[in-house]
Structure 1
């Protein structure tokens, strides 16, 4: 007969798996597209799968492909990925407030699997978040992302060469598709996107920075600058 604690952990893990099914299904087409574009960028199937294994961040992986295609150095790629994923510190801190007491290394393991989607599902679950639940939620999501990244790369080999080469255009289409809904909803996002684009173009065309550093610096300057301007504007409006 299994101890009650073991049965409860198994039940919580299963509950996490069930909660993560919708995320796993949603990851399928995005991961497949990532694998296809990784193939057209020149990554091997092992490199594409390893990126998904060790990074596990959709938007960051897509922009990494763009930087790799542009011949950007490793440091700029890592820095850009770090900047894009700073929000994960806030998400992890938020979930930690509701997570059960656990050893730090175990929390570090499931903190790696926090994405926008897993955070959204976990944050709406009532009560204390058990480690078993979080591992179940993250396991199925992570497995889907990694597996379909590899399948997407493999499927890319079956496509005609011309179609494989044209897949790189899909990367820009994806970013436009992600950006447009935010542009419609928030004026701040529109101003941020335009200012970042203008700065990036200036840095590249003037030859001041390489493509990688131009993206990093234009993102940082625009984000900080627009946030400061918006805060001042909100304060003046309140007064």
Structure 2
């Protein structure tokens, strides 16, 4: 991939848009599905688009739909979304190291909002520094695609028969399984994390804890425990080496 332009201006912005075109195409079917499921979950068109505008995080929005479907409160949804997206602190910090020294903190804060796993990957692969213009072009292309197709998915869902709309709630769980299975195949850590989280969630739910808090606590505990075990194992291997 070519070197990001160090100077700002339209040329850098256009380069960012060009780099984000593939991401925009890839987001289209995912955003359509989100909009469709949002409609069948009970969200209005305004709520569906507003979530995409403000949250702009595919996995978190799907999780939010699931939590809304089971009647989870706002605090639990916010905490779960925060936990899922906490990695964005690291993404933003990494991109900050690649940012042009000419970009002020305001510009960096604005395009940090638009960082996703995909836009981060594209920016991180660029040689040299990336400018605010490039990042704005890259993020804007992905952002517009996500929001636009979220709305189109809601429109499509509104035209489905009522019986089919109600049955689409099953598709939400199927999608989570589809997202989890590939990552489990290549990582034992992911398998243990998923199993541990499921076990904690079952225990908390059977203990009478609300579904929302069960998910929040299960996610936190499983993440901390598995990461602690991995860290201890790595230290043990280093000691033996």
- Same fold by TM (over 0.5)? yes
Q: Is the 8 A contact 2:119 2:138 kept in 1?
A: yes
Partner of 1:87: 87
Q: Unpaired segments of 5 or more residues in structure 1?
A: none
Answering whether residue 148 of structure 2 is matched by residue 147 of structure 1, we say yes
Q: Is the 8 A contact 2:8 2:131 kept in 1?
A: no
Normalising by structure 1, we get a TM-score of 0.95
Instruction: Give the drift of 1:235.
Output: 1.9
Normalising by structure 2, we get a TM-score of 0.94
Distance 1:227 1:98 in 2: 28
Instruction: Give the drift of 1:8.
Output: 5.1
Partner of 2:190: 189
Q: Is the 8 A contact 2:24 2:141 kept in 1?
A: yes
TM-superposition CA deviations, 1:10-37 (whole Å, max 9, x none): 0000000000000000000000000000
Partner of 2:129: 128
Instruction: Give the alignment of 1:9-28 within 5 angstroms.
Output: 9-28=9-28
Q: Is the 8 A contact 2:67 2:77 kept in 1?
A: yes
Distance 2:233 2:123 in 1: 34
- Give SS of 1:72's match: coil
Instruction: Give the drift of 1:158.
Output: 1.1
Instruction: Give the alignment of 1:1-239 within 5 angstroms.
Output: 9-101=9-101, 102-207=103-208, 209-238=209-238, 239=240
Distance 2:199 2:193 in 1: 10
Q: Unpaired segments of 5 or more residues in structure 2?
A: none
